Chain A
């Protein structure tokens, strides 16, 4: 399966893009200690001051600077490990918990699950970003008047990861339990039962291998989900790890991200979209690229899966061909001449 997927160009390019971004982010923080160069004044060749920050991508390649002259490119690189890391961790946690719950429910309690599906249905009528916003707001938003957080950074991060995981658990669990149940209904399970396989044996030997590829698909979907959720929360000014909140009735309230995670970059600069388009647009662009890359991996994996099921089960051992066998017509003879009666029977059986 994996070998098939690794041969798929879409899967490989998608995965590589995410991995390279993540790796370079780690490299940057290990070697350069997350330093962000600052250019707040822009001089022309004659040494005259032309412009001050924010500087456009044309003036400070490749991505320009933000309001205070910090280069966006380095900020993006620094933020990458948080954004991708969070998406990965939350998606894995969702998968791990839902997998246990889903397999158990799909194996033992399909009937109860069907009757409680109404409750899970309810999740579909509330935007998940709104629900998470309401839960997270109290913890993540800095108290504007006092300028303090109630909890430490680590506590907030753990809380956010737990909540982002929990909000998707009901839907993913139902999804996985349905998948599990569908595999239990396949014919070969019946065969395995007849041959005396116990429930746990069938579970390990037959159900899991069939669920595996589906789980990879759901995992990648969840990753996209988390990225979009982060983006939404960022727009709502809830940044990962907490939001510094400056109450300023004159110049407008200012929100700042505690970590330099991408959604924070978008959230606190989105209002600049009409004037300094590139500042929010570049982090959004990177979000799009990462989501696209994950979707590429997803699509590639799907294609690899289809190819696998088309080619059937791959034979472990190559068939040994006996080259010496020479076949000629004389080796065979008809037992009886069935030309007419055979055709008639064939027509009749239709």
Chain B
């Protein structure tokens, strides 16, 4: 247990430094010239500013505001949408997998085809379709499903929209892992003992599959993060990533990246711990 904590701690420090180093990368370029000294300079000024974080400010119009604690409002909003969407897509993805595995083979094939095509759609396309749909519904029924121009923070629609692509990614991964797992001898054994197939699926297979799903979910989280950015931009949501875009100073970039990184890292670590406990296997990393 202690070893694992040190391991996760080391990983955290590594990723923390990585974000710090990455955050200063825009300083590496002076126009098109590489200036290494500029990079080092920027790195140190950023670190210096981070240490005195309570003095950080941002401009909005002609006013200057304190960065802390205002930034937390943006952060929580982004995080709620991100994790909400991820949790939703995990659940829906699992549900879809569960249903698919109980379907006859030809229908499974159809499901797979659909998932493959939806998964190939770029996020921008989905956002555009949602926008068109919202306007179309408004024109037909006068009901505004989502107010894109509003300033206050909306939750339901962004979470739903953001969860579309991750759902299908989760679905695809889960289907793959579950099928691999279902071919294992212990499933046959359980079947011969007369255990119901849904029980096998929900308890035994799920427990073993969850660790493999974890490895893939990292990239799904990253994917969702980049989706979130474009969504905040297109829908005018007051989230953190759009905040970075609108206040392009080096320290805000690094601070926001760090603030995003910490909760995601913690959640992923907890997830990893739970998955390891469930499958009684250590994640080799």
Q: Which residues on B sit within 8 Å (CB–CB) of A126?
A: 19, 22-23, 257, 260-261
Q: For B32, give its contact among A134, A159, A284, A299 (CB under 8 Å).
A: A159
A124-175 CB contacts (< 8 Å) to partner B: 124-131, 133-135, 137-139, 150-151, 155, 159
| Interface residue stretch chosen among A70-78, A98-106, A211-219, A231-239 | A231-239
Nearest to A116 among chain B residues (CB) is B14
Say if the beta carbon of A89 comes within 8 Å of chain B: no
CA distance A150 to B32 in the complex (A): 9
B36-55 CB contacts (< 8 Å) to partner A: none
Q: Check if A131 sits within 8 Å of B22, measured CB to CB.
A: yes
Q: For B31, give its contact among A128, A133, A150, A299 (CB under 8 Å).
A: A150
Question: Would you give the shortest CB distance from A7 to chain B, in whole angstroms?
Answer: 20
Q: Check if A118 sits within 8 Å of B14, measured CB to CB.
A: yes
Q: For A134, give its contact among B219, B222, B248 (CB under 8 Å).
A: B248
Q: Which residues on B sit within 8 Å (CB–CB) of A121?
A: 11, 14-15, 18
CA distance A159 to B14 in the complex (A): 29
Say if the beta carbon of B175 comes within 8 Å of chain A: no
- Given A118-B13, A129-B229, A284-B125, A273 and B18 touching (CB < 8 A)? no
Q: Check if B31 sits within 8 Å of A122, measured CB to CB.
A: no
- Given A119-B15, A135-B29, A235-B230, A288 and B260 touching (CB < 8 A)? no
Q: Check if B18 sits within 8 Å of A135, measured CB to CB.
A: no
Nearest to B230 among chain A residues (CB) is A232
Nearest to A138 among chain B residues (CB) is B31
Q: Check if A133 sits within 8 Å of B261, measured CB to CB.
A: no
Please count how many residues in chain A sit with their CB below 8 Å of the partner chain's CB atoms: 48
CA distance A74 to B16 in the complex (A): 48
Q: Check if B120 sits within 8 Å of A292, measured CB to CB.
A: yes
Q: Which residues on B sit within 8 Å (CB–CB) of A127?
A: 222, 225-226, 228-229, 241
Q: Check if A123 sits within 8 Å of B18, measured CB to CB.
A: yes
Nearest to A281 among chain B residues (CB) is B128
Say if the beta carbon of B104 comes within 8 Å of chain A: no
- Given A134-B253, A137-B248, A236-B233, A122 and B122 touching (CB < 8 A)? no
Q: Which residues on A sit within 8 Å (CB–CB) of B248?
A: 134, 137
Say if the beta carbon of A227 comes within 8 Å of chain B: yes
Q: Which residues on B sit within 8 Å (CB–CB) of A228?
A: 122-123
Q: Check if A122 sits within 8 Å of B19, measured CB to CB.
A: yes
CA distance A284 to B116 in the complex (A): 18
CA distance A284 to B131 in the complex (A): 14
Say if the beta carbon of A318 comes within 8 Å of chain B: no
Q: Check if B121 sits within 8 Å of A288, measured CB to CB.
A: yes
Q: Which residues on B sit within 8 Å (CB–CB) of A63?
A: none
Question: Would you give the shortest CB distance from A244 to chain B, in whole angstroms?
Answer: 18
Sort chain B's interface into a size bin.
Answer: 35 or more
CA distance A118 to B265 in the complex (A): 11
- Given A131-B25, A291-B120, A122 and B230 touching (CB < 8 A)? no
B226-285 CB contacts (< 8 Å) to partner A: 226, 228-230, 233-234, 241, 244-245, 248, 253, 257, 260-261, 264-265, 285
CA distance A127 to B21 in the complex (A): 15
Q: For A236, give its contact among B14, B135, B245 (CB under 8 Å).
A: B245
CA distance A133 to B253 in the complex (A): 12
Question: Would you give the shortest CB distance from A276 to chain B, in whole angstroms?
Answer: 12
Q: For B245, give its contact among A124, A125, A133, A266 (CB under 8 Å).
A: A133
Q: Which residues on B sit within 8 Å (CB–CB) of A236?
A: 233, 245
By secondary structure, the A interface counts as helix
Q: Could you give, for residues 198-241 of chain B, a 1 whenever the CB lies within 8 Å of some chain A CB and a 0 otherwise?
A: 00000000000000000000110110011011100110000001
Q: Check if A130 sits within 8 Å of B245, measured CB to CB.
A: yes
Q: Check if B222 sits within 8 Å of A124, measured CB to CB.
A: yes
Q: Which residues on B sit within 8 Å (CB–CB) of A266?
A: 124
Q: Check if A135 sits within 8 Å of B229, measured CB to CB.
A: no
Q: Which residues on A sit within 8 Å (CB–CB) of B264?
A: 125
Q: Which residues on B sit within 8 Å (CB–CB) of A270?
A: 128, 234
CA distance A65 to B146 in the complex (A): 29
Q: Which residues on A sit within 8 Å (CB–CB) of B120?
A: 224, 288, 291-292, 295
Nearest to A296 among chain B residues (CB) is B120
A5-40 CB contacts (< 8 Å) to partner B: none
Q: Check if B230 sits within 8 Å of A129, measured CB to CB.
A: yes
Q: Could you give, for residues 283-299 of chain A, a 1 whenever the CB lies within 8 Å of some chain B CB and a 0 otherwise?
A: 01101100110010001
CA distance A151 to B229 in the complex (A): 29
Q: Which residues on A sit within 8 Å (CB–CB) of B28?
A: 135
Q: Which residues on A sit within 8 Å (CB–CB) of B244?
A: 130
Q: Which residues on A sit within 8 Å (CB–CB) of B137?
A: none
Say if the beta carbon of A59 comes within 8 Å of chain B: no
Q: Which residues on A sit within 8 Å (CB–CB) of B228?
A: 127
Q: Which residues on A sit within 8 Å (CB–CB) of B260?
A: 125-126
Question: Would you give the shortest CB distance from A225 to chain B, in whole angstroms?
Answer: 10
The list of the 8 closest CB pairs from A to B, nearest first, reads A118-B14, A122-B18, A127-B226, A125-B261, A119-B18, A134-B26, A295-B120, A124-B222
Which residues does B use to contact A, with CB under 8 Å? 10-11, 13-19, 21-23, 25-26, 28-29, 31-32, 116-117, 119-125, 128, 131-132, 135, 218-219, 221-222, 225-226, 228-230, 233-234, 241, 244-245, 248, 253, 257, 260-261, 264-265, 285
Which residues does A use to contact B, with CB under 8 Å? 116-131, 133-135, 137-139, 150-151, 155, 159, 224, 227-228, 231-232, 235-236, 266, 270, 273-274, 277, 280-281, 284-285, 287-288, 291-292, 295, 299
